[in-house]
Structure 1
Amino acid sequence: MKSLCNIELTSQYIISSSKSSAPLLLPKPVKNPSYVPSKTWKIHAKAKGFNRPNLDKQNSMTNVEKRKKQEEADDKIPDVVMGRMITRILFNVGVPLVTGLGLLQMFSVIRDNNLMQIPRWLPFLTTFITLGASTLGIAYGTLSTSWDADNKGSLLGLEEAKKNWVEMWAQDDSENS
């Protein structure tokens, strides 16, 4: 913030005008008339998050211990499970999306060739349903995957989705309390 203040040549303040709805930006009178801004600008800001403050040994040890406990609490998803999860997500998003685009193309061909009279709401409804299903496919693809690296799970993943749904909410409840 100091660097931004040093860049300003004159301070400004905002007032509202009764004639127009937009506020006016007017220069603020300088309190010290002998103040002359320097010709060279120097940024005085320090990046937050990169400079570690000097902590005493006791505080730094507790921070290290806290970090280790947090890393232990954050379980890494095995690569096998992550691969299965990505495959299920792509399938559960891709199939409804391709179906919706195919139906739109089919409705367009039917209308252009005057094969049948299709109501205008039908393409909107099918697009809404298929794009909504593809959006839900992200969540279902994640939940329907077996989170156990040794267990591959079923084809549809209904049992895994039920089990993972309960486990996910149980973890959320334990974190909030």
Structure 2
Amino acid sequence: MAKEAMKTLIALEHPFLYLPNPIPSTQRISLLSHEPSRNPNFNRRRARRLQAEAAKGFGGGPAMKSKPKADRDEEGEDEDEKLPEDVWNRITRRILFYVGAPMATGLGAVQILGTVKERGIWDVPNWVPILTIFVFLSASSLGVVYGALSASWVSEREGSALGFEEAQRNWAEMWREEEDDQNK
């Protein structure tokens, strides 16, 4: 034990950890400055590329200005339809159910395991609540996807209670649209 401690102390004295000439506190280098005179590491080409990519998806820069509806339809840019309100509400309800049910079940199971251990009924190993949380939170995260897929995407059709048929139909439809987008 003492030999290992000495080796550790000796390893800390290596010269590669020593800074012979630390940066003076009076000299300030701004790594975030966009002015070449203040930043010796300034790269003009990289700065231009970053500025050009900055507005993608955020804000209303010149590239984000929308065209009138008639122009978009003619050019085929805005082919996607908005979801009807009732379909959106149906998807939201299903997601909330398929996320909330496993999460509540998992929290209840952990609470029960804690009570069982506290009362001395069963000495629950520490890995059991951890595994329980992992399984039920995983099921809860999968509930987001299944909730969206199991809802009927057609306004007129409500769908079944568990949504197995709708999930199969919507899964195939989703992949068909993906293949169509790749073929264009």
* Range into which the TM-score falls when normalised by the shorter chain: 0.5 to 0.7
Distance 1:101 1:160 in 2: 29
User: Any residues of structure 2 matched to 1:1-177 within 5 Å, and which?
Assistant: 5=34, 8=35, 10-13=37-40, 49-51=60-62, 64-65=71-72, 69-71=76-78, 73-177=79-183
> How many angstroms apart in 2 are the aligned matches of 1:87 and 1:9?
54
Aligned length: 132
CA pair 67-96 structure 1, distance change in 2 beyond 3 A: farther
CA distance in 1, matches of 2:94, 2:165: 15
Q: Distance in 2 between the 1:100 and 1:88 partners? A: 18
| Structure-2 residue corresponding to 1:27 | none
Letter in 2 for 1:50: G
Code of the aligned partner of 1:122: V
Q: Which structure has the highest helix share of the two?
A: 2
- Counterpart of 1:24 in structure 2 is none
What fraction of aligned residue pairs are identical, expressed as a percent? 37
1:86-133 CA-to-partner distances (Å, cap 9, x unmatched) read 000000000000011111111111112212111222111111110000
Give the CA RMSD over aligned residues. 2.8
Q: What are structure 2's unaligned runs of at least 5 residues?
A: 1-32, 42-50
TM-score, structure 1 normalization: 0.66
More strand by share: 1
Unaligned runs of 5+ residues in structure 1 are: 15-44, 53-59
**SS of 1:13 mapped into structure 2:** coil
Code of the residue aligned with 1:129 in structure 2: it is V
Correspondence for 1:38 = none
Amino acid at match of 1:160: E
AA at the equivalent of 1:69: G
Moved over 4 A (4+): 65-68
